[in-house]
Amino acid sequence: MDETHTLPLGRVEVSDLKWSSDGLRLGVLAGNELLLVEAAGGMATRLACAARVQRFVGWSAPGTDLAYLTFPVVFGWAGVPLPSGRAVTWLPTLGHTLVVARADGTFPEAR
């Protein structure tokens, strides 16, 4: 028998829905928070370590890990003075930080 569950998310954009390989959990990006929803019962868990998430990449093939992209860390500029009196300046590029964590969201590690 199919079950339907409603998640009380309010008016937040939901995207990047991805099932774990075993079909027991659904990863959902709700705004900038990553939620894990249990297929049996529909209980949703917000991953506290997954703040400022921009994309949910998905699960590893065995379902033991998950990956997501966070907003880039903002770095200041860096510069090096040259003997000519000029300087070379580097500005940060915008990118993302890839984070890989265990399937329950613990032990996140930036890659």
pLDDT tens digits along 76-106:
556 677 778 777 766 555 677 888 899 888 8
26 lies in which domain range? Answer: 14-110
Is the residue at 44 inside a domain? Answer: yes
Instruction: Please list, in sequence order, all residues whose beta carbon lies within 8 angstroms of the beta carbon of residue 1, skipping any fewer than 6 positions away.
Output: none
Name the nearest CA neighbour of 66 among 24, 94, 31. 24
Is the residue at 94 inside a domain? Answer: yes
Is the residue at 40 inside a domain? Answer: yes
Is the residue at 3 inside a domain? Answer: no
Number of domain units in the chain: 1
Instruction: Please list, in sequence order, all residues whose beta carbon lies within 8 angstroms of the beta carbon of residue 108, skipping any fewer than 6 positions away.
Output: 49, 50, 99, 100, 101
Q: What is the pTM of this model?
A: 0.72
| pLDDT greater than 90 at residue 59 | yes
